[in-house]
A = this chain, B = another copy of it.
Amino acid sequence: MGSNTFGKLFCLTSFGESHASAIGGVIDGCPAGLELDLGRIQLELDLRRPGQGDFSSPRFETDQIQILSGIFEGKTTGTPIAFLIPNKNQKPSDYDALKDIYRPSHADFVYEKKYGIRDYRGSGRASARETAVRVAAGALARQFLEQYGIKVLAWAKQIGPVQDLSSEIPLRAAVYASEIRAPFAESEQKMKQHLQRLKNEGDAAGGTVHCIIQGLPAGLGEPVFDKLNARLASAFMGINAAKGVLFGAGMDFASKAAGTMNDAWEVIDGQWKTKTNHSGGIQAGISNGMDVHADIIFKAPSSIQKGQLTATKNGKQDVLSIKGRHDPCVVPRAVPVVEAMALLAIADFFLLQSKQSRSASV
Contact = CB atoms under 8 A, between A and B. Distances in A.
Assembly of this chain: how many copies?
4
Q: Give the one of A71, A114, A126, A208 with max B CB within 10 A.
A: A114
Q: How large is the interface on A (under 10, 10 to 19, 20 to 34, 35 or more residues)?
A: 35 or more
Contact of A17 (B34, B79, B130, B274): B79
B253 A299 contact: yes
Contacts of A16: 68-69, 80, 82
B361 A33 contact: yes
14 contacts: A1-B8, A2-B28, A2-B29, A3-B222, A5-B13, A17-B69, A75-B117, A160-B255, A206-B257, A244-B245, A259-B308, A265-B311, A354-B362, A355-B355
Contacts of A362: 31, 350-351, 354
A352 B72 CA distance: 23
Given A11-B2, A254-B298, A259-B306, A230 B234 contact: yes
Q: Give the one of A70, A130, A279 with max B CB within 10 A.
A: A70
A354 B357 CA distance: 12
Nearest to A275: B309
A310 B263 CA distance: 8
Question: Closest 6 A-B residue pairs measured CB to CB?
Answer: A2-B28, A107-B284, A3-B222, A33-B359, A244-B246, A258-B300
A230 B238 contact: yes
Q: Give the one of A34, A158, A224, A300 with max B CB within 10 A.
A: A224
A21 B287 CA distance: 29
Given A158-B255, A258-B301, A308-B264, A237 B233 contact: yes
A92 to B, nearest CB: 11
B253 A298 contact: yes
Contacts of A272: 109, 311, 315
B31 A267 contact: no
Contacts of A266: 310-311, 317
Contact of A219 (B114, B298, B350): B114
A286 interface: yes
Interface string A239-258: 01011111111110111111
